[in-house]
Amino acid sequence: EAQVTQNPRYLITVTGKKLTVTCSQNMNHEYMSWYRQDPGLGLRQIYYSMNVEVTDKGDVPEGYKVSRKEKRNFPLILESPSPNQTSLYFCASSALGDTQYFGPGTRLTVL
Amino acid sequence: AQSVAQPEDQVNVAEGNPLTVKCTYSVSGNPYLFWYVQYPNRGLQFLLKYITGDNLVKGSYGFEAEFNKSQTSFHLKKPSALVSDSALYFCAPRDSWGKFQFGAGTQVVVTP
């Protein structure tokens, strides 16, 4: 089944404790992206990647890192999480220029 | 820089009545335009897209959208709304470099 998977689905952590949210797709898509969703703000793009080893900042990249060492994986790293990064995070992938497919979301709470 | 506006936070409609969710956009170059829907506690699902061609695009679940270049709009429509259409709808233009921009979302509430 074609899908985008994210792990973990739920995470509660404390300020400053490094964490990684994994994202994997099995559709051989070139394009992958991370978004955060906050009430009243819609989805805001954090980082995106057009292909392996190619990443670029979205609208809200501060406090986040990504890497794209393999085509299928696009992990999101929070080196020192802060409470303002409490949010619902979505990973998405697509063929270039085509429809994005979204993962189920990761609900992160930073205390 | 690209931008997107969904002017209504919420749209209320009675079941069986037509539904319209508005979207206007600003994108450099030729726009690629998408609509997504999010049901409660779920991820986003693709509804339809405009890349080129016919200005009226038909998508999933009976939805359609009309691309209007002069008004830079891409309104989502459904002739007869169902209670199950109650969800959060996002308009998302994409520029020629691959970057998507999502609107703030419009909550649709369909009452029986």
Closest CA to A105 of A2, A4, A1: A4
- Average confidence (pLDDT) over A37-49: 91
A31 in Cβ contact with A48 (< 8 Å): yes
Q: How confident is the model at residue B2 (pLDDT cuts 50, 70, 90)?
A: confident
CB-nearest partner of A43 from B49, B51, B90? B90
- The span from the CA of B74 to the CA of B71, in Å, is 9
Quote the minimal CA–CA distance from A17 to chain B in Å.
Answer: 26
- Average model confidence (pLDDT) for chain A? 94
Q: How far is CA B8 from the centre of its chain?
A: 12
CB-nearest partner of A99 from B42, B49, B98? B49
- Average confidence (pLDDT) over B43-70: 92
pLDDT computed for residue B109 by the predictor: 98
- pLDDT > 80? residue B96: no
pLDDT computed for residue B76 by the predictor: 98
Q: How confident is the model at residue A98 (pLDDT cuts 50, 70, 90)?
A: confident
DSSP state, A24? E
- The span from the CA of B68 to the CA of B50, in Å, is 11
- Average confidence (pLDDT) over A44-57: 93
Per-residue pLDDT of B74-87, as tens digits, reads: 999 999 999 999 99
* Out of A65-74, B22-31, B76-85, least confident range: B22-31
* Residues belonging to chain A with any Cβ–Cβ distance to chain B shorter than 8 Å: 31, 33, 35, 40-45, 48, 50, 56, 58-59, 90, 92, 96-97, 99-105
CB of B102 within 8 Å of a chain A CB? The answer is yes
A39 vs B98, residue with greater confidence: A39
